[in-house]
Amino acid sequence: MLSVDIHKRLGDFRLDVAFSAEDGILALLGASGCGKSLTLRCIAGIERPDSGRIELNGRVLFDSERGINLPPQKRRVGYLFQHYSLFPNMTVAQNIMQGARLRPKGERRAAVSAMIASMRLDGLAEHRPSELSGGQRQRVALARCLIAEPEALLLDEPFSALDDYLKWQLELELTDTLGAYAGKVGTTLFVSHDRGEVYRLAESVCTLTRGSGNGVQPVRELFAEPDTLAKCLISGCKNFSRARPLGGNLVEAVDWGVTLDAGREVTIDVAYVGVRAHYLSIDNGQLTMDNYGGRTTGNLVRCTVERVIDDVFSAVVMLRTSGDASSEMSRLRMELPKAEWDGFYSADSPREIDISIDAKDIMLLKE
């Protein structure tokens, strides 16, 4: 188990992060510059927090009050850097050997050979990084981390610099590798600003906003029911409005100029409402169809079609509500299959349409 409660100031930026991670994969999710990589560097011992405490499986790695600050080589933490940081003039075997320096001398060569075999790098031991594919370089970097038998593994945006087609392949390979070592590495921290990566790879998530952690929760819960505006935005929601609770199940979406029935009690601390773009549905005056062809019921919002963006497989429809036109929050973004939009709307169609929001899709958000 990894427990982190640290504080660090860099110029005008302040990092305040506290979380605990059990065995498995915990993602740190947030926009660029929010402190994700800085958190990893503090855990690894590359950066020193100003104050706080870091503990791994009962061992104190850092404690400002007790003056404890173990050097990186004594922390038993594996760090996979963003660009892998392999030594270009060393062979695959030599790169992996760098991670085995803390093992008994007589075990190192055998351990390297075993790691090469387990990472499917057979026949590449004497190759240099420039002679390897992206997936092979990733496996060499992971092998260098894992051969040291770390108690925690830190992955710092390992796919950020890759093209989509290569990123997908390496993500699958990383999933297989981590699965094979699930019983040997307790905690894995995975840093990303890509919501899709986090959803597919991690089991739990801690969101960061401008250096502040927002607590740990299951990944599926974050995307299904974010409870604050910050989490809603980080999870990718495009539509949100200031809210005014009206009692019972009713809430006024101030920026959309409409009162909504949320289908459950709207508590007094609800400050915003949100709805995902692909949950908005078109009402044709007879019944409301969701984006999967099923019938639904919901709150109606009269909107004006401002712009239609022709995406690869979908139509992105930008809508203006009757709310304050000067507020960016007054606009809605709807995404639906291209064929459905083309079958409903044409250049000759009225610009005003009714949009339906199902009560179960309304997110009730605190500050």
Domain ranges of the chain: 2-227, 239-365
Q: Taking Cα atoms as reference points, which of 82, 78, 117 lies closest to residue 98?
A: 78
pLDDT in tens, 121-150: 999 999 999 999 888 888 899 899 989 889
Quote the pTM value.
0.84
pLDDT in tens, 63-83: 999 999 999 999 999 998 878
| DSSP letters spanning 76-123 | -EEEE-TT----TTS-HHHHHHHTTTTS-GGGHHHHHHHHHHHTT-TT
Beta bridge partners of 310: 315
Give the pair of three-digit tokens for residue 76.
């038993």
Beta bridge partners of 156: 191
Per-residue pLDDT for 184 more than 70? no
The yes-or-no answer to whether 2-227 and 239-365 have a common fold is: no
Residue found by looking up tokens 């392949």 in the block:
169
The CATH code of domain 239-365 reads 2.40.50.100
CB neighbours of 44 closer than 8 A, spacing ≥ 6? 72, 75, 77, 79, 154
Q: CA-to-CA distance for 249 and 246, rounded, in angstroms? A: 8
Give the pair of three-digit tokens for residue 8.
């660090």
The CATH code of domain 2-227 reads 3.40.50.300
Three-state SS for 119? Answer: coil
Task: Tell me what pLDDT residue 111 has.
Answer: 94
